[in-house]
Amino acid sequence: MRGDFTRATGRVLAQRLVADYRSGRVPLPGALVCANDETALGLLDVFNAEGVDVPRDVALTGFDGIEGGRIS
C-alpha cells in the first residue's frame, strides 16, 4: 500500500485493511512494516480503536525512531 508518510494516511490505510478483513475479502496480515513511524502510529490508532490487538493479531513496526514510535 502506498502512502505519504503521515499519520493521517496510516489511519486511512488501516481503515481499509480492517474493512477488507471484516468483509471477508482478505485476512489480516501477520505483520506490517511501515516506511516511517508516523504511518505506523496512524495504523496503530485505528487498530486500537477497532479492537485489533497489536502485536497479537498484527505485528507492526515503523522506521525512523521518533519519540512517539519509541514509546508506543
- The CATH number that applies at residue 45 is 3.40.50.2300
Domain holding 57, by residue range, is 7-64
Per-residue pLDDT, 66: 86
Question: How far, in Å, CA of 28 to CA of 5, rounded?
Answer: 21
pLDDT tops 90 at residue 71: no
Show the cell assigned to 45.
490508532
The mean pLDDT value for 53-66 works out to 94
pLDDT band at 46 (very low <50, low <70, confident <90, very high): very high
Assigned domain for 52 exists: yes
Contact 65, 30 (CB under 8 A): no
- Say what the pTM is: 0.91
Q: Whats the size of the chain, residue-wise?
A: 72
Assigned domain for 25 exists: yes
Per-residue pLDDT, 14: 97
Assigned domain for 14 exists: yes
